[in-house]
Amino acid sequence: MEPLISSLKPELANDNLKRIADKVIEGIRIDMAEGEYLFEKADLALLAQLANLVNHRLNGDYVLFNHNFHIEPTNLCVFNCRFCSYHKAAGDPESWVFTLENIKDIARKYQNSNVTEVHIVGGVHPKWDIDYYGKMIRAVKDILPNIHIKAYSAIELDYVIRKSKLTYAEGLKRLKEYGLDSIPGGGAEIFDPEVRAKICPDKASGEAWLAIHRAAHQLGIYSNATMLYGHIESYKHRVQHMEAIRKLQDETHGFNCFIPLKFRAANNPMGYLGEVNLVEDLRNFAVARIFMDNIKHLKAYWPMLGIQNTRLAINFGVDDIDGTIDDTTKIYSMAGAEEQKPAMTTEKLKQLIVESGRIPAERDSLYNIINVFNK
C-alpha cells in the first residue's frame, strides 16, 4: 500500500500537492488550509490512494456492518429546516406519532433475532419532555433488554433538556439511567453560523451540538459525528466543520465514527439546488478520511448513498457501511434517495464488501469486531 503511494510522489507536478501527500504518507496531520487545497486541487485518483492509505493504517482490509433497525417515533417537529423532507405538520396524512405501545410492538418484531442495535431518532415533538424520551428507551429495553440503544440527535436532546430546565450533563445522565447507551451524530449539518442561518435558522447552534457531545463523552456515552454536504456550503465550510469535530475528538476521544451525509433534493424547499454528483461524493469521503485522522471509522450510509455508490465509496477511505436496517427508516427515502425501502440481508452486505475487495466483518455499536467472514 505505502510503496504504491510513494511511487506517485515524483509525478506530482504541483509542489503543494506533493508536500501534502508527503505529510499523509508520513502520518503527519494536515491543517485546514491543506484540507481545503485537497478539495480544490487534488485529482480523484490521488485522493483515493491517500484515503485508502490512511484507512488501511487504521482498519486494515476490514469493512464493517452491524445488525440494526430504526425507530422513528414521529416526524412532527418544532423546527422546519429548509433541507428537510421528513418534517410534516400535525394533521398531514404523511405524519405519524408512535405511542409507547407502538414502540414496544416494533421492538417485539426483533425478539429472538440477531439484531444488536436500535437507532432511535425523529422529529422534535413539541409536547414531549425528557422523561418521555426516557420512557421510549425503557419501552425498548423492556422487550429487548440486551440491545444497544443509540438514540436522539443533539437537536432533540437540546430541546428536551432545556425544556426540562436541566444542564446537558444532567439531562444525559438521566437518559443514561433510563438505558441510553450512545447517541447518533445527526443535527450537525454545517456548523458555520451564516450557513446555518440559511438552512436551519431555528434549531440548535453548532456550538450547542458540540457541547452536547462533549457532555456525553464526559459521561462515558460515545457518539458519532455527521456533516451534511452538497448544498450551499463551500469547501472551506466543510473543513471548518471537520476541524471543530477533530478538536473535540482530541479533547474527549468520544467519537466512534464520522459520517458525511449527502443533501438530497426531493420534497424540500432547497430542492432547486439539485444534488452534487458521484465524483463529489467520492472526493468528500476521501478528504474526510485524510483529514479526520483521530476518528478511526468513516461511514458511507448506504440508504443515503445507494448500494452501488456505497460499493465505490469503500475504495475512497470508507470502512463502515452501517447495517441491515430492515426498511425501518424513512428519512432519506422521503428525500428521494435511490433506496426507497432500505433493507439489506447479511449475505447482501457481505457480498457488497467482498465485491469491493475487502473483508466483511460484523461489529457491535462501539465498533468491536464480533464476527469476521471470509472473502
Indicate yes or no: pTM above 0.85. Answer: yes
Q: Which residue has the cell 432500505?
A: 342
Give the CATH number of the domain where residue 358 resides. 3.20.20.70
**Band of residue 82 on the pLDDT scale cut at 50, 70, 90:** confident
The CA-CA-CA angle for residues 60, 63, 66, to 5°, reads 135
pLDDT digits (tens, 9 = 90+) for 272-326: 889 999 999 999 999 999 999 999 999 998 888 888 899 999 999 999 998 887 6
Beta bridge partners of 104: none
48 and 75 share one domain: no
State which amino acid sits at residue 84: C
Across 242-273, b (16+ Cβ under 10 Å) vs e yields bbbbbebbeebebbbbbbbbbbbbeebebbee
- Asked if 150 and 118 touch (Cβ cutoff 8 Å), the reply is yes
Q: What is the pLDDT of residue 163?
A: 94
273 and 208 share one domain: yes
Domain with 205 in it: 62-372
Q: What is the pLDDT of residue 12?
A: 58
Least confident among 40-49, 82-91, 235-244:
82-91
- Asked if 238 and 230 touch (Cβ cutoff 8 Å), the reply is no
**Portion of the chain with pLDDT greater than 90, in percent:** 73
Q: Is the dihedral of CA 261, 357, 323, 318 positive or negative?
A: negative
Q: What is the pLDDT of residue 292?
A: 98
Total structural domains within the chain: 2
Phi, psi (5° rounding) for residue 33? -60, -40
74 and 156 share one domain: yes
pLDDT digits (tens, 9 = 90+) for 98-114: 999 999 999 999 999 88
**Portion of the chain with pLDDT greater than 70, in percent:** 90
The CA-atom distances, in angstroms, between 35 and each of 29, 181, 354 are: 10, 33, 30
270 and 308 share one domain: yes
158 and 12 share one domain: no
Helix segments in the chain, DSSP class H = 2-6, 15-25, 32-41, 44-59, 100-108, 130-143, 154-163, 168-178, 193-199, 206-218, 235-252, 278-291, 302-305, 307-313, 346-355
Q: What is the pLDDT of residue 188?
A: 96
Across 4-21, b (16+ Cβ under 10 Å) vs e yields ebeebeeebeeeebeebb
40 and 72 share one domain: no
213 and 357 share one domain: yes
State which amino acid sits at residue 92: D
Least confident among 126-140, 191-205, 252-266, 331-345:
331-345
- Asked if 268 and 335 touch (Cβ cutoff 8 Å), the reply is yes
